Amino acid sequence: MNIQLLRRPIAEVRSQWLVVGLFEDETGSPHGACLMGLEDTVRRLVADRDASGSLGELSVVHNPSGLEAASALLVGLGPRKRFDAGAALTAGVAATKRLAARARETVAFVLPPSDDPAGTASAIVEGTMVGTRSPALHRSEPNRHAFGTFSLVTEEVPVSQADALETAIKRGKIVGEAVNLARDLGNTPPAEKPPRQLAERIRLVAEDAGLAVEVWDAARIQQERFGGLMGVAAGSEEQPRFVILRHARGGDRPTTALVGKGVTFDSGGLSIKPSASMEDMKADMTGAAVVAAAMQAAARLQLPLNLVGYLALTENMTGGRAMKLGDVLTHRNGKTVEVLNTDAEGRLILADALSFAVENRPDRLIDLATLTGACMVALGTRIAGLFGNDDAFCAEFLDTARQTGERAWRMPLDDEFKDALKSNVADLKNVGGKWG
C-alpha cells in the first residue's frame, strides 16, 4: 500500500473516499470553514441521531457537497479534550475496516487538529495498516483489502512541519507493519507454527530487519539448565526453541531486555483445559510475537537503543512424557518449583528466560505474557496488568503507554503474596491459590 502526505485544500482532494473526523462536542462543520459544504449534512445527521462524533462511530455521505471526493466517511473522534494517539488509532482502525471490505484504489484521511500533529499522523497510519489486515489468514477470498494509495491530507503547512509529518507517516507504517506481524503470528494455526517453525520464521524476519539472531535447540536448552522450559515441552513431540534477538545501536546507553512467552499451543497439559478454553490457545505465544515485532520495528526505525529479546517457545501438550502434578522442576537459577497445575505453564518457561536475562545484567527488563485469565477478570479484555518493582520505571512505562494509545493498569506486588507460593517439598509451587 502506497502511503503519502498530501498537502492540498481538502475540498480539492480527488479520491474515491475522503475520511473526515468529527469531534463529539463539535458537531457543526468538521474542520471549520475548509469543509463548509458538509455543514448542512452533518447537522442533519446529528439531528437524526445518525452521527454524534463518539469515538469510532461511522457515517457515510455519498456525493458530498463542495468536495471533489466521490464519497465521504465521517468517523467519530470522541471529545476533543480527550483526543490523543489512542483515539486517533481507534478512529483509523474503525474507518479503515469499514472501507477495506472492498478493494479501493484511493482513500484519503483528513488529519484532525491536535496538539501533536506528528503523533496523530503516526497513529492514524498505524491504524490504517492494522485495519486493512484481517485475522482470516486462510479464507479462500480475503475479507479486507489494502488500499492502492492512502493519503494523509493536510492544508499547506511549513516545510519543517511537513518534514515532521513525513517522518511520522514512515514511523506509523513501520509500527503498523510490526503490529500486523505480531497479529499474523498469533493468528497462524498451531499446526503451522510449532516451536521450530516459529523460531525459523522469526529468524528470517529478524535478519531481514538487521537484528542479530541466535536460536537454541532442545540440546542447548537442556545444557543451559532451562528445567522449566524442558518440563513444559516434555509432553509434546515438538521440541522447544529459545530465541535471542539483539539490537545494539545505543552505544553506551542502558540495555533493556524484552522477555516473551511463546507457548505455540496450550492444551493445559495434564490439567487439561475445557475444549472451549482451547480454541484461542494458538495465541498463547503472543508475548513472544510482540517481542519479535517490537525488535523488528526498533531495527527498521534505526532507534539509538540497546535491546535484547528473549523468546521461550514450546507447546504444552498431554503426551506420555508430560510433566505430572507433583513433579519438581529445577530452573536456570537453581530454584526448584513443585508443579501443582500444568496449565500454569507460562510462568515456568518465563522463569528460565528471566533468570538468563538477569544474568546478562540489563538495566531494565520488560516481560510480556498472555499469562492468566484472572487478569481479564480483574481488568477486562482491553487493559493490560502491569506488575513492577521500580516505581519510576512503572510511571514512565504507563506514561509512554498512554502516549501511544495502549492501556495498562498497575497491579500490586505485596510480600504477603510470597507466602501463598511456598511449597512443602520445593522452594516454590507454581500456583498460589484463588485469591490475589
Residue 280 CA, chain-centre distance (Å), reads 16
Q: Kindly provide the b/e burial profile for residues 101-125, where b requires at least 16 CB atoms within 10 angstroms of the residue's own CB.
A: eeebebbbbbbbbbeebbbbbbbbb
Helix (H, G, I), strand (E, B) or coil at 17: strand
Residues 6+ apart with CB under 8 A from 188: 137, 282
Helix (H, G, I), strand (E, B) or coil at 229: helix
| Closest C-alpha among 264, 229, 259, 433 to residue 362 | 259
3-state percent helix, strand, coil for the chain, nearest multiple of 5: 40, 20, 40
**Cβ neighbours around 27 below 10 Å, total:** 18
Distance separating alpha carbons of residues 33 and 9, to the nearest angstrom: 11
Distance separating alpha carbons of residues 258 and 46, to the nearest angstrom: 47
Q: For this structure, is 321 an active site residue? A: no
Amino acid at 420: A
Q: Strands across the sheet with 428-429, in order?
A: 328-330, 336-338, 428-429
Can you read off the three cell numbers belonging to residue 34? 475548509
CA atoms within 13 Å, Cβ hemisphere of 164: 11
User: Which of 183, 261, 347, 429 does the annotation list as catalytic?
Assistant: 347
| Closest C-alpha among 260, 420, 434, 262 to residue 354 | 260
Q: For this structure, is 249 an active site residue? A: no
415 secondary structure, DSSP code: T
Distance separating alpha carbons of residues 281 and 261, to the nearest angstrom: 13
User: Which of 43, 170, 273, 364 does the annotation list as catalytic?
Assistant: 273
- Active-site amino acid positions: 273, 347
